[in-house]
Amino acid sequence: MLDLDKTNFEEEVLKADGYVFVDFYGDGCVPCQALMPKVHEFAETYGDKMKFTSLNTTKARRLAISQKILGLPVMAIYKGGEKIDEVVKDDATPESIEAMIQKYI
């Protein structure tokens, strides 16, 4: 998992080739913390087929807002500089996250 911030988001996500998974999380987000081990497991399992990254929205609030992240957790897939899919808030379960990943690998 590559940690993102305002200095590398554009290069690592928006200008990247292929599909990029972004885990938008916050320090105080309990559901985010609960999902994190599973997301890391997905990164290990599917990391050869898709880039896996994470962005701490607590530290990059303006960047998160620019990406229309208005609540947490959000797991998104980008391609060609655009967000093409996402799983948000209560819909963010290990099963729904893996199903989204499976559509793009």
Catalytic residues: 29, 32
Asked whether the beta carbons of 43 and 1 are under 8 A apart, the reply is yes
What is the spatial distance between Cα 8 and Cα 92, in angstroms, rounded to a whole number? Answer: 25
* Residue 40 Cα distances to 53, 65, 100, angstroms: 10, 24, 15
